[in-house]
Amino acid sequence: MKKERLICPYTVYDHLEELDPSDAELLRLSHEAARNAYAPYSKFNVGAAVRLANGEVVTGNNIENAAYPSGLCAERVAMFAAMAKYPNVPFEALAVTAYSTSKTIDEPVAPCGACRQVMVEVEQLSKQPLRVLCQGETGPVFAFDGIESLMPFIFLDKFLG
């Protein structure tokens, strides 16, 4: 028997000026996208922005439904829209941000497990690490270089045989 330990490296940016301008712009577009959220039930408005290798940026926002599970997270809206509009174009980075009308979100939003699983697939298809940038409405930015830092013990297609 032996105990193992996982290391999930990420970078914390306390100031936007520390970021590469293209990452700062992606975050800005994500904040902008959050304004389009349809979140009457949770009041948790999420934005996401995907930067592709062809230079295009595709945004998304969460969309809720009275039948709760029928809604979709901002990240998956953005990723699926990018894949629909630009099939086969690798993903470089994804930013996710949020604001709420009931409290100030000053810590980074952590993508849900289902979105992380989709990021895994996207990263594999892209054949390059996916940079994931997370922020609240304000506060620090966490940057993950590669989905494995966000999602260890990934379920991979290789298990399917």
Would you name the residues annotated as active-site residues? 75
Q: Smaller CB distance to ligand THU: residue 57 or 150?
A: 150
Among 49, 111, 132, 133, binds ligand THU (CB under 6 A): 111
Q: Which residues contact residue 90 at a Cβ distance below 8 angstroms, ignoring those fewer than 6 apart?
A: 52, 53, 125, 126, 127, 128
List Cα–Cα distances, 57 to 1, 29, 54, 115, in angstroms: 48, 9, 9, 18
Tell me which residue has tokens 């009275």: 66
Least distance in angstroms from the C-beta of 160 to ligand THU: 26
Distance CA 70, CA 107 (A): 27
**Angle at 98 (CA atoms; ends 94, 100), nearest 5 degrees:** 170
Q: What x-and-dash track marks residues 46-65 binding ligand THU by CB under 6 A?
A: x---------------x-x-
Stretch that binds ligand THU, among 26-34, 69-77, 122-130, 143-151 (CB under 6 A): 69-77
User: Binding of ligand THU at residue 78 (CB under 6 A)?
Assistant: no
CA distance 116 to 30: 17
Question: Of 120-159, which residues contact ligand THU (CB under 6 A)?
Answer: none
Give, as ranges, the residues between 6 and 45 that touch ligand THU (CB under 6 A): 39, 42, 44
Please state the length of the chain.
Answer: 161
By CB under 6 A, name the binding residues for ligand THU: 39, 42, 44, 46, 62, 64, 71, 73-75, 96, 109, 111-112, 115
